[in-house]
Amino acid sequence: MKNVKVKCPGTVANLVCGFDILGMALHEPNDIMRFKLLDEPKVVIINKDEFNLPTEPEKNVAGVVLLSIMEKLGDNTGFEVEIEKHIKPGSGIGSSAASAAGAAVGANHLLGNIFSNDEIVQFAMNGEKLASGVKHADNIAPCILGGVTLIRSIHPLDIIPIPSPDLYVTVVHPQIEVRTADARQILRKQVLLKDAIRQWGNIAGLVTGFLKNDHDLIGRSLEDVIIEPVRSILIPGFNEIKSKCKEAGALGGGISGSGPSVFMLSKNEATAKATEQVMKDVYDRLGIEYNTYVTTINKKGVEIVSGE
């Protein structure tokens, strides 16, 4: 195979109580990436969008992933990649993870699927390290595998896909900047035992709710007593959006990734759309520009669209 086109989904990481360990893939938005094999050991990046991301391979998430694959191969293989980004960088819906995961899956496909899923996740995590300074997989894993995933451990890598109900997801991306570094820095380093107990009760409840298709249990468990109370101060309107979306029928939700996007889960499309309207009303009133998505959980992950 000489070239391949892949579709890389946006993802919601830090799934409320599941900070750093639970993530899910979305049907919308998606990046598109096109890859070509080169017979010289180099990476060529061509941007097909308006985001002006770096084209030097060492500074672009996709480039870093491809370089790490080339290092592993140790031969004369190289890659050209065209990136058409629709997931805005810094949105909190896994823009860097889409490029990292897409690069690992696209390259693996061109090479004849020589790597395992765990190896693909490992390559892709090199890209996340460039974007956020730490190797984490809670966007990468759902982006590659689809659905909801639990990252039980990074060392050693232990990723568990969790079957989930067909829920609707409403996302609002207020056009403000929340730097991932700032969002990490304001977190407390220690937690109270009573908060930890409440949090792990919620994580167990959320996972059980997904497995048993129990919407009420999912709703009750979508509570974060550790991260959200601190981080939400970086997101204007957060508390109002959350309480009004729940009044409109949403099961619950929270900050997507490290923000500024906020997501809500709903049982059906009508509620997901009512939730979207609540988000729009709040940001219209606050005079903050935004994008919204009403979508569903993507069970497939990165998809090979075509190749020849």
246: which strand partners? none
Out of 65, 131, 151, 222, point to the residue binding ligand ADP (CB under 6 A). Answer: 131
**Does residue 107 bind ligand ADP (CB under 6 A)?**
no
User: CA separation (Å) from 94 to 113, 189, 226?
Assistant: 24, 24, 22
Residues designated catalytic: 128, 180
Main-chain phi, psi angles of 14, to 5 degrees: 55, 50
CA pseudo-torsion sign 234, 228, 206, 138: positive
**Does residue 11 bind ligand ADP (CB under 6 A)?**
no
Write the binding mask 232 to 271 for ligand ADP: x where contact by CB under 6 A, - elsewhere: -------------------------x--------------
User: CA separation (Å) from 173 to 123, 186, 270?
Assistant: 28, 21, 20
**Does residue 94 bind ligand ADP (CB under 6 A)?**
yes
Compute the least distance from the CB of residue 10 to ligand ADP, in Å: 8
Report d(CA 135, CA 151) in Å as an integer: 12
Query: Smaller CB distance to ligand ADP: residue 135 or 215?
Result: 135
Query: Smaller CB distance to ligand ADP: residue 17 or 98?
Result: 98
Which residues touch 167 (CB under 8 Å, ≥6 apart)?
A: 218, 251, 265, 266, 267, 296, 297
84: which strand partners? 32
Max CA separation in the chain (angstroms): 59
User: CA separation (Å) from 190 to 52, 74, 180?
Assistant: 38, 43, 20
Compute the least distance from the CB of residue 94 to ligand ADP, in Å: 5
**Does residue 149 bind ligand ADP (CB under 6 A)?**
no
Out of 30, 99, 170, 221, point to the residue binding ligand ADP (CB under 6 A). Answer: 99
Task: Please choose, out of 1-9, 16-24, 59-67, 215-223, the segment that lies near ligand ADP by the rule CB under 6 A.
Answer: 59-67
User: CA separation (Å) from 212 to 141, 206, 215, 216?
Assistant: 22, 10, 9, 11
Task: Please choose, out of 94-102, 143-151, 165-173, 209-217, the segment that lies near ligand ADP by the rule CB under 6 A.
Answer: 94-102
Out of 9, 92, 252, 254, point to the residue binding ligand ADP (CB under 6 A). Answer: 92
**Does residue 132 bind ligand ADP (CB under 6 A)?**
yes
Query: Smaller CB distance to ligand ADP: residue 176 or 191?
Result: 176
Which residues touch 102 (CB under 8 Å, ≥6 apart)?
A: 6, 8, 31, 33, 62, 143, 302
Compute the least distance from the CB of residue 7 to ligand ADP, in Å: 15
Write the binding mask 186 to 225 for ligand ADP: x where contact by CB under 6 A, - elsewhere: ----------------------------------------
Report d(CA 48, CA 36) in Å as an integer: 15
- Under 8 Å between Cβ of 101 and 144: yes
Out of 89, 161, 236, 307, point to the residue binding ligand ADP (CB under 6 A). Answer: 89
Interface residues toward ligand ADP, by CB under 6 A: 53, 60-62, 83, 89-97, 99, 131-132, 180, 257
